[in-house]
Amino acid sequence: MKKMTITKRISVTMRGFSILKQYCPGLAQGKAMYELINSIQPFVSIWFTAQIVNEISSQRRLKTILLYVLGAVLINFICALLKSIINHVCNEKESQMWSWFGKVFSDKQISLDFVDLENAAIQHQRQEAEENLYMFGNGLAQLFWGISALVRTLVYIVISLVMTVSLFISTSGNRFIDHPIWIGIILVCIAVGGLSKSKATISENDVFMEYCKNTVWFNRVFMFFGKELYMNPEKAKDVRIYSQNTVAEKMLDKLISHERDNQSDITKMALYPAIAQIIIGLANAVCYLFVAIKALFGAFGVGSIVQYVAVLSRLGEGLQELMYILSDNEVYCTHLQNLFEYLDLPNHMYQGSLTVEKRDDNEYYVEFRDVSFKYPNTDTYVLMHVNLKFKVGEKLAVVGMNGSGKTTFIKLMCRLYDPTEGEILLNGVNIKKYDYNEYMSIFSVVFQDFRLFSFSLGQNVSASASYDREKVIECLKKAGFAERLNSLPNDLDTFLYKDIDAEGVEISGGEAQKLALARALYKNTPFIILDEPTAALDPISEYEVYSKFNEIAGTKTSIYISHRLASCRFCDKIAVFHEGEIIQIGIHEELLADRRGKYYELWNAQAQYYTT
């Protein structure tokens, strides 16, 4: 694995902290503050204990001893109080931390160009960055977990160094013991302990990183089986009927036995730390021996032995932990780097700034001017030289066989994609020049594969947390949902599905389609587009939607995609798509009069189907 430079690691770490600050404000600071108090506290006890032992072994003044005891108790009490307050505040934030990490991804995902949502390479990149969420919190959790260690270490090192100074300053009268070379020897011993720990940690991490690389695939497969195959009720039907779980279990068995084969590295992970521990033990022994000998020669009292032994071991631990932190930092910087690469994906779609003109005369028109289009990363044109102009208020029907490009035509009009060639104009201006969100706001679309969400019925229809109840009810009635609405337990506040509310209701495909229609009506935009709006409806509901379509669409420009040509007869204009081209355009009677035309062929094919 390629090593990151120190400057890169610093900038990655700093950016990680700024994301933590943005999504979980106060959490990192709270953790740091807690640890600062927590790690200073033992030194306070060490110092007071040393003073008390020194006093007992020398002058034995009761008042002084009591003062030390009182000081120690008071400071420990204040520390404990502060710690529990901070802990209380931080705990709640920490329990929400994982959800916020998820939001880092959802925020990026929603800001991506729509075209990138279908780009396999980009989604793979997201998946890779997201995959280490549970083990490492995408590096963000590791960064957070590391705060305690970092603060503790810095405190240990600084305070230990300060408290060790007097060890070297105090003299015993013995030239050998007081020789400054001992400063060097003791520091070398501590450094050797720290370095051996670092060596062990690096080798541990190398094995671990290799293991992580292997587990990415393992996690992906495991998550697919666990979450998708077994938990998703839609898939559960097929899993049960076709016993797909046996295939899944075989694959998992294979993966698990492969994982077991990789466990030989564990020996390596265990051996190095054990050797490091022996070296650290020897180094500590030299330090403690020096302190004991210096005390024997009378450089300081018995109490100070306690202090020096404790601070030297804290100094050693601090250095060892610092080495560990540096090496751990390398691991989470790699994860953070994956995350940042995904977060830094740019938006390529041109973002215009024009506002969509609000015209009193309602004279809007949309024009496709020689538009051709192929989906990103594909070679085949799915739309070719499409030319079409229609005015606001017109009702356009788009018909054609499956795969002829009807839905793609709509996606281009709503600017989910930009044309590969040609241009689309709104009132003579290329739609790219309009402010993207404002342009999107003039369309209501019921896509064939529309989705409703596990919010309340009212929130689903209004697409908003607070809404106009009367208006929602009116739209539901228009969409043919009135009867079902009356049977719902909590009226508009009834939740759809059971993800959020256990009392939520399940709805049929036809009912869902009516709700999607009501949602499009509630948005009340100049354009309403229905892509196969009746596919899941029963014949009676279908008839209702057809017969009320003029009322539903009102004065809006409506575009209506349907396989059922009978339902398109009422439209002002019918465009016949075939293999990505508009091959006929006109009103029903005109198109039907052309006996060699596609429309005539489709019409007769359907008529025949219905009669047989």
Q: State the residues that interact with ligand ADP by CB under 6 A.
A: 118, 375, 378, 382, 400, 402-408
Nearer to ligand ADP, 449 or 470 (CB): 449
CB-CB neighbours of 273 under 10 Å: 16
Shortest distance, position 405 Cβ to ligand ADP, whole Å: 5
Shortest distance, position 467 Cβ to ligand ADP, whole Å: 31
- Selection from 488, 510, 201, 502 nearest residue 325 by Cα: 201
In 375-452, DSSP assigns E strands to 383-391, 395-400, 421-426, 429-430, 443-446
- Selection from 19, 38, 41, 17 nearest residue 151 by Cα: 38
Shortest distance, position 40 Cβ to ligand ADP, whole Å: 59
Pairing of strands 527-531, 443-446: parallel
Asked whether the beta carbons of 361 and 141 are under 8 A apart, the reply is no
Shortest distance, position 549 Cβ to ligand ADP, whole Å: 20
Nearer to ligand ADP, 374 or 556 (CB): 374
Nearer to ligand ADP, 116 or 317 (CB): 116
CB-CB neighbours of 573 under 10 Å: 19
Find the DSSP H helices in 170-264: 175-178, 181-223, 233-241, 244-261
d(CA 602, CA 569): 13
Torsion of CA 533, 534, 535, 540, to 10 degrees: 170
Nearer to ligand ADP, 374 or 395 (CB): 374
Shortest distance, position 134 Cβ to ligand ADP, whole Å: 30
- Selection from 26, 152, 145 nearest residue 89 by Cα: 26
Nearer to ligand ADP, 495 or 599 (CB): 599
Nearer to ligand ADP, 408 or 494 (CB): 408
Q: How many CA atoms lie within 13 A of 508 on its CB side?
A: 9
Shortest distance, position 494 Cβ to ligand ADP, whole Å: 33
Determine the 3-state secondary structure of 248 from DSSP: helix
3-state helix, strand, coil in the chain (%, to 5): 65, 10, 25
Shortest distance, position 403 Cβ to ligand ADP, whole Å: 4
Shortest distance, position 408 Cβ to ligand ADP, whole Å: 3
Nearer to ligand ADP, 189 or 399 (CB): 399
Nearer to ligand ADP, 156 or 447 (CB): 447
For 371, phi then psi, to 5°, come to: -85, 125
